[in-house]
């Protein structure tokens, strides 16, 4: 099981604006500290944390943060309309478009996805795969 994902950021306030445009809508709570941003899902009373957590931090080696070539973090949304809304919100908050919301021929008929780059260049996917919503096939 993946426990957490960390992406580097040189401009934490700019990263906060981007990630806070969509992660709270997916249930993530933000904790901010001197080490950066920590987004986590709420922990129900008496239960273990829902993983993974998502961290946005300055680099440990103090070198400029860079995006990984071929790396991507995907967040699941409950509906296609939320994928569209969150994609738009993330663009408005400083992200760049890497693929408008829609179906992709290479994936299953219910996989509805959009792609973004955060202000640092990290690739982010927002997707929904609810079989009760319209599919690529009709």
pTM > 0.75? yes
Question: Would you kindly state where each structural domain of the chain is located, as residue ranges?
Answer: 4-128
| Strand 36-40 with 4-8, pairing | unpaired
- Please tell me the predicted confidence (pLDDT) of residue 69: 87
In which region does residue 125 sit, left (phi positive, over 0), alpha (psi from -120 to 50) or beta (all else)? beta
The reported pLDDT for the residue numbered 87 is 98
- pLDDT at 138 (0 to 100): 74
* Domain 4-128 top-level CATH class: alpha beta
- Within 10 angstroms of residue 119's Cβ, the number of other Cβ atoms is 18
pLDDT tens digits for range 3-18: 999 999 999 999 999 9
């Amino acid at each position: 099981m993946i426990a957490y994902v960390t992406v580097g950021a040189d401009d934490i306030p700019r990263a906060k604006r981007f990630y806070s445009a969509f992660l709270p809508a997916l249930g993530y709570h933000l904790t901010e500290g001197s080490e950066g941003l920590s987004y986590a899902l709420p922990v129900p009373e008496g239960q273990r944390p829902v993983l993974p957590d998502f961290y946005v931090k300055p680099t440990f080696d103090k070198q400029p943060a860079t995006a990984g070539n071929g790396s991507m973090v995907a967040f699941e949304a409950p509906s296609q309309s939320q994928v569209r809304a969150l994609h738009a919100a993330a663009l408005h908050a400083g992200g760049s478009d890497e693929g408008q919301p829609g179906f992709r021929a290479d994936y299953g008929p219910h996989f509805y996805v959009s792609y973004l780059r955060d202000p640092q260049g990290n690739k982010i996917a927002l997707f929904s795969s609810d079989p009760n919503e319209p599919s690529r096939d009709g």
